[in-house]
């Protein structure tokens, strides 16, 4: 019980130490509307449906933990899920406008850079907080938009360190025209290009939804890189790895997060990647209980985003009613700094956005396992 509560240590501690506000849970403050409504945009069908399933698991776990640990909290947190895939489209805007005008959301969470970029102007115009687990820094350009940010420069340095130890010198990049992929490679590729002894053979870029990788596999077979840096989401990642297998190629693949996106991770068994910190073991066990699988599908970040939203609203004072998005946004960074979460203690960077640690992971037994440097 005490270990589970540690994820919430920062709720009161950060408010007192940073914001100078005493958070009291001794009684509910009467307001006209004591519900904070949160839109949640995740793939609930198609290629990414498993990520949506685990987003819902994480939300259920958050609700149970919050109700048990804080029965006298000022607000309840209602989460409204909408099926939005890894690609933002016109329907994304329609969904966001519906959430704002009909559901009257106070905040919105997602973890796809492309979706976050589409949502950001709507958050500015309609006045709700957006929080995204996103690689693209533009996802946090607005007054009301924030992101849980990976340290991509550090990720590039870590990739080089392990490549160097393994004698890798000739590498090929493959990415897609998705905001997340572009942002990741924009930070990681220059680090590798500038590293001693590295030779870039090719850089392939495909469109979202690409399913024919035969020609790219042939080119890779001719050039024979020592390693492939893959920054693809699904379905492209699955299709690319299968194309290499069908071509009889066993070239090691790495990247940032990308191996974790694969549906069939047995095809990259034993390979390594750099990723954001994973869920602590106890949380992972709770999240995956009765699921028939052990991968968390980044559900720990859904839980963390809900924690950050709740932490911000509970610790932002308003003279009357719920705090406005402007009031919450002004304190969001300070309130998030040092918060204990299922992925460790967060730090906030100079832009006011939470940053998580980067770690090495290897695919073992079909799932990503954190390993020492």
Q: pLDDT > 90: what percent of the chain?
A: 62
CATH superfamily, domain 152-278+360-371, is Response regulator (3.40.50.2300)
For range 100-128, the mean pLDDT: 93
Helix, strand, coil shares, percent, the chain, to 5: 45, 20, 35
The string of pLDDT tens digits covering residues 308-320 is 999 999 999 888 7
What span, in angstroms and rounded, lies between the C-alpha atoms of 310 and 66? 9
- Where in the chain are the domains? 2-150+279-356, 152-278+360-371
Q: Which residue has the higher pLDDT, 253 or 265?
A: 253
Q: How many CB atoms lie within 10 A of CB 20?
A: 8
Task: Please report where in the chains the tokens 């959430």 appear, as a residue.
Answer: 99
Closest CA to 301 of 119, 133, 80, 101: 133
Q: Average pLDDT, whole number, for the chain?
A: 87
Give the pLDDT confidence score for residue 126 in this predicted structure: 95
pLDDT computed for residue 178 by the predictor = 84
Instruction: Specify the higher pLDDT residue, 1 or 362.
Output: 362
Share of the chain above pLDDT 70, in %: 91
- State yes or no: pLDDT of 231 exceeds 90: yes
Residue 334 and residue 340: Cα distance in Å, rounded? 14
Higher pLDDT, 87 or 28: 87
User: What pLDDT is stored for residue 93 in this prediction?
Assistant: 93
Output the CATH code of domain 2-150+279-356.
Answer: 3.40.50.2300
pLDDT at residue number 320 = 78
Q: What is the pLDDT of residues 293-303, one digit of tens each?
A: 778 888 999 99
Is 152-278+360-371 in the same CATH topology as 2-150+279-356? Answer: yes
């Amino acid at each position: 019980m005490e270990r589970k509560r540690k994820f919430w240590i920062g709720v009161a501690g950060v408010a007192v130490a940073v914001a100078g506000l005493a958070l009291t849970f001794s009684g509910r403050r009467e307001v006209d509307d004591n519900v904070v409504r949160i839109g949640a945009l995740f793939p609930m069908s198609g290629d990414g449906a498993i990520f949506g399933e685990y987003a819902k698991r994480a939300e259920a776990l958050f609700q149970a933990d919050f109700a048990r640990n804080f029965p006298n909290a000022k607000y309840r947190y209602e989460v409204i899920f909408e099926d939005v895939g890894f690609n933002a489209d016109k329907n994304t805007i329609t969904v966001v406008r519906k959430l704002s005008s009909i559901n009257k959301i106070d905040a919105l969470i997602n973890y796809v850079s492309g979706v976050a970029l589409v949502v950001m102007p709507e958050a500015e115009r309609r006045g709700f907080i957006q929080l995204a687990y996103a690689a693209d820094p533009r996802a946090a350009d607005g007054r009301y938009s924030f992101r849980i940010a990976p340290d991509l420069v550090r990720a590039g340095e870590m990739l080089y360190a392990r490549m160097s130890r393994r004698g890798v010198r000739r590498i090929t990049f493959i990415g897609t025209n998705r905001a997340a992929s572009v942002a990741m490679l924009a930070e990681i590729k220059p680090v590798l290009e500038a590293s001693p002894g590295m030779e870039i053979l090719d850089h392939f870029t495909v469109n979202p939804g690409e399913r024919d990788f035969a020609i790219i596999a042939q080119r890779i077979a001719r050039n024979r890189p020592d390693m492939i840096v893959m920054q693809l989401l699904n379905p492209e990642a699955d299709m690319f790895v299968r194309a290499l297998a069908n071509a009889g190629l066993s070239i090691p693949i790495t990247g940032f997060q990308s191996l974790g996106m694969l549906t069939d991770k047995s095809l990259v068994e034993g390979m390594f990647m750099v990723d954001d910190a994973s869920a602590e073991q106890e949380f992972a066990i709770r999240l995956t209980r009765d699921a028939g699988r052990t991968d968390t599908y980044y559900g720990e970040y859904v839980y963390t985003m809900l924690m950050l939203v709740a932490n911000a609203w509970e610790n932002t004072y308003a003279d009357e009613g719920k705090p406005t998005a402007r009031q919450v946004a002004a304190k969001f960074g300070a309130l998030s700094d040092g918060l204990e979460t299922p992925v460790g203690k967060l730090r906030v960077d100079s832009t006011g956005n939470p940053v998580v640690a980067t770690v090495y992971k290897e695919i073992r037994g079909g799932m990503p396992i954190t390993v020492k440097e």
